[in-house]
Amino acid sequence: MFRNLRIRTKLSLMIAVPVFGMVIFSIYNANKDYTALQGLVQTQKLTALAVQVGELSHQIQKERGYTSGYLNAKGTKFREELAGQRAKVDREIEAVAGFLKTNEASVLLVKPSLDAAESAIAKLKETRTGIDSLQVTGAQAYTFYTGLINSYMDVVAAVATTSGKREVMRQATAYYSFVKAKEETGKERAALNAVLAADVLDQERLQRTMTILAAQQDYLDMFRKFASPQAIAAYEEKAKAPVFGKVEEIRGAVLSKGLSGHFGIPAENWFPVITEKIDSMKQVEDVLTTEILATAGRLAHDARLTLILSLVLAGVASLGTCLLGVFISLGITRPLSRMLGMLKDIAEGEGDLTRRLEVGRKDELGEVSTWFNRFIDNVHGIVSQLSRNTGQLSVS
């Protein structure tokens, strides 16, 4: 089949096969790079969700704290602060809802955790009404808000485990560990606030406080294990602030007296101190959010550049191969066409025996052209000699 094809066709087929293979390979690589890019864009969206959920959790923590103070004071204190904090929580809820609406496809991996959180937040309005009317006890409010915060923390944990990039997973784990440590600090605020308000520490509250402190330390240890040196340094710097020492002092005074009670420390003194510590931890949390968002953005940017570079290189390689093939093909077929034309003219008796092929090439075609020219020289010589002999015979 192939022996009857023209040389130009054979050369075209010879070029087409590797070009086709290159195109297929390029499509495969481009698809792989595109899939990686889509995964990193999704990671970027999920980390942004984790940050927004973390901010919402922080605001809910503050609402829990003000609610505890409001209920302990039988509604005589923290009314304005609680109302203002509820407005902040509502704004964050709307922000998260807006984010989810515009990025629905990107958060499918954490949808079970989101559904659980949305189910919990649906009871917020009813719980607030019960708090305002003092129909909800401090313990009930604490349990509700803590469960609500934990449901959103589960979203952050889900984000940390779904990332396919080790660097993002490490930073997300550090972020999750730190916000959980901050959450345990918020629990400590509520727990000791109730203890100091009652001026009594029973066995149940003591056990709860010790559990909170142990969990707080565990999460901080995990944070130090996974966080970057810059994030750890940011926390250590904040931990040098006097407020951290003041919290330790009040906590130590409560635990040293233990079940005997009569601490002599007003709850009003404890709340602003521990709140200042939590606010300082929030600043470190902001460092972590900036870090993880920057990493996710950088990886997505790099993946986008890789995809573009892959497409450009594939296009250049394919075009270059085609152009090189055309150049080589013309370098073979053009001399052959000229040689064929001259042979055809000679065979038909109309050839110009003074014409010659170019012999500047060093390849096989150059050699063929050289020997072809010598052949024409010989033919030309024979024809010339015959012409001279014929002329002489005519004269004689």
Residue 333 has pLDDT above 80, yes or no: no
Single pTM value for the model:
0.71
Residue 396 has pLDDT above 60, yes or no: no
SS3 of 359, please? coil
User: How many other C-beta atoms are found inside a 10 Å radius of the C-beta of residue 276?
Assistant: 16
Q: Name the band, by pLDDT with cuts 50, 70 and 90, for residue 391.
A: low
- Average of pLDDT values for 288-306? 87
Q: Name the band, by pLDDT with cuts 50, 70 and 90, for residue 360.
A: low
- Average of pLDDT values for 326-337? 75
Torsion, Cα 231 153 104 124, to 10 degrees, reads -130
Q: Which of 95, 53, 294, 290 is nearest to 180 (CA)?
A: 53
Please enumerate in sequence order all residues whose Cβ is within 8 A of that of 100, keeping only pairs 6 or more positions apart, or say none: 49, 107, 114
Q: Which of 247, 256, 269, 276 is nearest to 201 (CA)?
A: 256
Q: Where are the domains of the chain?
A: 11-310, 322-395
- Average of pLDDT values for 68-94? 90
Label residues 112-140 b or e (16+ Cβ within 10 Å = b). Answer: ebbebbbebbeebeebbeebeeeebebee
Token couple for 272: 């602003």
| Gap between the Cα atoms of 116 and 82, Å rounded | 25
Q: From the CA atom positions of the chain, what is the Rg in Å? A: 41
Q: What is the separation of C-alpha 367 from the centre of its chain, rounded to a whole number of angstroms?
A: 61
Torsion, Cα 69 71 74 80, to 10 degrees, reads 60
pLDDT, tens digit, for every residue of 264-284?
888 888 888 998 999 999 999
How is the chain split among helix, strand and coil, in percent rounded to 5? 85, 0, 15
Q: What is the pLDDT of residue 301?
A: 86
Contact 277, 174 (CB under 8 A): no
pLDDT, tens digit, for every residue of 23-44?
787 778 777 877 777 777 777 8
Q: What is the pLDDT of residue 322?
A: 78
Label residues 343-361 b or e (16+ Cβ within 10 Å = b). Answer: eeebeeeebebeebbebee
N- to C-terminal Cα distance for the chain?
A: 59
Contact 183, 156 (CB under 8 A): no
Contact 160, 43 (CB under 8 A): no
Q: What is the pLDDT of residue 281?
A: 94
Give strand ranges (E) for 354-393.
Answer: none
pLDDT, tens digit, for every residue of 216-262?
999 999 999 999 999 999 999 999 999 999 999 999 999 988 888 78
User: How many other C-beta atoms are found inside a 10 Å radius of the C-beta of residue 325?
Assistant: 17
pLDDT, tens digit, for every residue of 138-156?
889 989 999 999 999 888 8
Residue 181 has pLDDT above 90, yes or no: yes
Q: What is the pLDDT of residue 353?
A: 64
Residue 395 has pLDDT above 60, yes or no: no
Q: Mean pLDDT, the chain, as a whole number?
A: 84
| Gap between the Cα atoms of 310 and 300, Å rounded | 15
Q: What is the pLDDT of residue 349?
A: 62
- Average of pLDDT values for 360-373? 70
More confident residue, 346 or 377: 377
Residue 123 has pLDDT above 90, yes or no: yes
